[in-house]
Structure 1
Amino acid sequence: MATTVRRPANLALIHALSAAERGLPVIPLSSTKLPALRSPHRGAPERSHCHGECGLPGHGVHDATTDPAGVRALFAAAPWATGYGIACGRPPHRLIGIDLDITHEDGATGTGPGPASPSVLDPVPDSVPDSVAALQRLARRHQFTVPETVTVLTPSGGRHLWLTGPPDVVVPNSASRLAPGIDVRGAGGYLVGPGSVTARGAYRTAPGTAGLAPAPCPPELLRLLTPPARPHRPQSQPPQGSGLVRFVLAAREGQRNTRLFWAACRAYEHGFGEALAEALVDAAVRTGLDEHEARATIASAARLTAGP
């Protein structure tokens, strides 16, 4: 029994060390794809803004390291880890992850990569309503080519494209902002690394891409990933969406997730969902909701309200 339990963790550590050797900062993940180490500040009366300055592990993506000794120490503290996350936006690669959820004509999410695991570069008819087709339509519209790059196949049939960004550009995380089913992992986010095992299955590198280096993000796509800063609003005006934040803060136990989802839907419907997301997460956490659950709820709202 002990051997069966430890084997995924040992494999996860091996894969994580290999990634760290290539300059990719890593953290251990549980089978739920969340950071395996819990925050050392959980239970504190006020939300902690510590990003690891306390010297203790458990700060999510802020723990990510390429140091082999540091990687081993993180996994030793989380022997139940079955996978690893790769921090995006960090030097030297400054990884940008394009997360493509695969759906089919009946609207169902795919359960596997499908026959032959087609490349994202393969032509996809416009009639196929999935995120691969959506990305290719964006490429045609904005005149860029999706480069050959490291591609990781997910247990649900989706895929992660690994791209690199320039040092002077910060790419934010987003959910379905480019198009339905296309999520972006940038600064402060992470990608599940190939070789990880989750409750839904294993992540693996697509055939023919394991030996590739992450390709530079095309400039035209990079511009889409980094929307211009919103104009400054006079301080005398209340922040847009402040009423929605107050609505979430007023939630009692049993209402927290429902109120957060409703408020996030309204924010995305009125066009300021991305701008209000962090304030909604903060409000939800202050009511007692777990941060990861709050972010997942907001991402669901973004997908639900995304236009065609």
Structure 2
Amino acid sequence: MGSPVLTHALAAASRGLAVLPLSRSKLPAIRSPHPAGGPAPAPCHGQCGLPGHGVHDATTDPDAVRALFAAAPWATAYGIACGRPPLHVIGLDLDVKHGTDPLAALARLARAHAFVLPPTVTVLTPSGGRHLLLRGPAGVAVPNSAGRLAPGIDVRGSGGYLVGPGSVTARGTYELALGSYTRAPAPVPPALLRLLAPPPGPAAVRLLAPPPGPAAPARTAGAPPYGAARADAALVRFVRAAPVGERNARLFWAACRAHETGRGEALTPALVEAAVAAGLTEREARGTVTSAARRTAAAP
């Protein structure tokens, strides 16, 4: 008789969700078959025929699922791979850490971009957050991101995974929300998909660029380009104007954006100063910026 987590994983696979075993730390449970320090062949995503390739092990085939869990009898959790057929799942990880209210942020996005988020499969996380599973189109590879969409909202797309309901981790148990037992992932609204899709390439950027205006002011050596300087200033203003209850969330979001563009270290003093002006202590502000740097570095 299989373990409880295998039962849950098989149930998810029967609904078209590709799954893989996870450890209590939420990491893939099967180690790589390619030893570190050995010869460096071309990247292997499972072509060798052995398990241990992380999200590339994920499958909907029940016999293959059983074989994966037989190779990892210590697994207490399972992951749902995103971007895989037949459902091409897009996951929204609503994280309540850092004082964020991701549900409110998602509602603001829906109003601003005129879309309605349909009822869909929802997983309740041990920390009080939620995972929303949406069905994506086959032809669009949605990238993974942390906080890019809005503060507290992480996106899991191609190459990413979410912890599945019924999993037990070091932080607790993941459970299906009421009403999700009979649902399938709902199609992602087109307006939301446009926000999640990869940014346009250089040619598209040129087409979308505004017409030439007055020449940008000359900059001194070592200063950021004019456009980057304006973006930096906008992030600082965003933090400085934070109302009570949003100061940490705004600072965390702005620091993530700064680090994603390679401007995190240079912009840290200005962001900390703006956060202190908004009402945080310097210690709180520096702690939040450090957390954002770590989160950005760890993002897939």
TM range (shorter): 0.5 to 0.7
RMSD of aligned Cα (Å): 2.7
Closer, same or farther: CA 197–208 of 1 in aligned 2, 3 Å: same
Higher helix share: 2
Q: Is residue 50 of structure 2 the alignment partner of residue 60 of structure 1?
A: no
- 2:5 aligned with 1:12: yes
DSSP 3-state at the match of 1:61: helix
With the length of structure 2 as denominator, give the TM-score of the two structures. Answer: 0.68
Cα distance in 2 for partners of 1:268, 1:136 equals 21
Report how far residue 42 of structure 1 moved.
Answer: 2.8
In the aligned structure 2, how far is the partner of 1:206 from the partner of 1:185?
A: 19
Contact 1:176 1:302 in 2 (8 A): no
2:230 counterpart of 1:230: no
Rg larger in structure: 2
Determine helix, strand or coil for the equivalent of 2:90: strand
Q: Retained in 1: the 8 A contact 2:9–2:78? A: yes
Spell out, residue by residue over 1:238-288, the C-alpha distance to the aligned partner (whole angstroms, 9 max, x if none).
Answer: xxxxxxxxxxxxxxxxxxxxxxxxxxx999416536xxxxxxxxxxxxxxx
For structure 1, the residue ranges without an aligned partner over 5 or more in a row are 1-6, 109-128, 234-264, 274-295
Once residues 177 and 143 of structure 1 are traced to their aligned partners in structure 2, the CA distance between those partners, rounded to angstroms, is 19
Instruction: Give 2:168's aligned amino acid.
Output: V
Q: What is the DSSP-based 3-state SS (H/G/I as helix, E as strand, rest coil) of the residue aligned with 2:7? A: helix
Secondary structure of residue in 2 paired with 1:210: coil
Of the three residues 4, 18, 28, the one matched with 2:21 is 28
**Separation (CA, whole Å) in 2 of partners of 1:299 and 1:191:** 20
Unaligned runs of 5+ in 2: 206-253, 263-290
1:147 equivalent in alignment to 2:118: yes
3-state SS in 2 of match to 1:134? helix
SS in structure 2 opposite 1:50? coil
**In the superposition, relative to structure 1, how do residues 302 and 55 fare at CA in structure 2: closer, same or farther (>3 Å)?**
closer
> Are the aligned partners of 1:180 and 1:303 in contact in 2 as well (CA < 8 Å)?
no
Amino acid at match of 1:188: G
Aligned to 1:269: 258
> For residues 299 and 136 of structure 1, do their structure 2 counterparts lie closer, same or farther at Cα, with a shift above 3 Å needed?
farther
- How many residues end up aligned between the 2 structures? 221
1:185 equivalent among 156, 164, 169: 156
Q: Which residue of structure 2 lines up, in the alignment, with residue 116 of structure 1?
A: none
Amino-acid identity (%): 64
The residue aligned with 2:184 is 213
Which amino acid in the other structure matches residue 189 of structure 2? P
Instruction: Flag the 1:302–1:176 CA change in 2: closer, same or farther, 3 A.
Output: farther
TM-score by length of 1: 0.66
| C-alpha distance in 2 between matches for 1:301 and 1:164 | 26
The answer to whether the 8 Å contact 2:23/2:76 transfers is yes
Deviation at 1:175?
0.7
Task: Output aligned runs, 1:222-261, within 5 Å.
Answer: 222-231=193-202
Between the aligned partners of 2:292 and 2:48, the Cα distance in structure 1 is 29
> Following the alignment from structure 2 to structure 1, what is the Cα–Cα distance between the partners of residues 175 and 200?
36
